A and B are shown apart, each in its own frame.
Chain A
């Protein structure tokens, strides 16, 4: 069945460090891929998305490229800030349902 696997956390980085959160997927069709972010006490917010192979989603300095050959959608940011501390979820949708990863907690320290 369709599924998403993302790297285990928690991840702790110093401010201005480079961030990578790995996400790989399994899907029978041609899914759309998403990254969501959840701040403490809030729901999930859409961070970025890509709907076809080689698309790059980007928002607020975060980027992810839809790689069909490696079935991956890794999240990257060149220089993290304390305000980026949150839980990040990778997700895919083939139209019938959304499948979410287990989430990766990121803490950025000054």
Chain B
């Protein structure tokens, strides 16, 4: 049973739609992450939030817009996506990383996104 909950589990949308992915963590963590997982490609880090502040944006296109209203919730707002954006989007949380990065990340089960 995961302490990180993602909704919806599956989402099909057209390229002109606007939708949002939601992530909630119940672990008392203060860092949250969005990843993109595509078939036969390494896991791609998209965004990192520490204490609600965005600390990493890995050159993600502006059609993906993250929002972190508090340390327990993370959203990914989607608009005018492209077919190549179809993937599994994973949310993760952890304690804020200190030197050595020994805090593991805890993942949700992901949202399977399909762009028509």
Contact = CB atoms under 8 A, between A and B. Distances in A.
Interface of A: 29-32, 34, 36, 41-46, 49, 51-52, 89, 92-98, 100-103
B43 interface: yes
B90 A32 contact: no
B45 interface: yes
Contacts, number: 68
Nearest to A4: B42
Interface size class of B (residues with CB under 8 A): 20 to 34
Contacts of A34: 104
A43 B107 CA distance: 6
Contact of B109 (A36, A43, A98): A43
Q: A-side binding surface: helix, strand, loop or mixed?
A: loop
Nearest to A36: B107
Given A43-B109, A100-B42, A94 B101 contact: yes
Contacts of B42: 100-103
B43 A30 contact: no
Contacts of B59: none
B61 interface: no
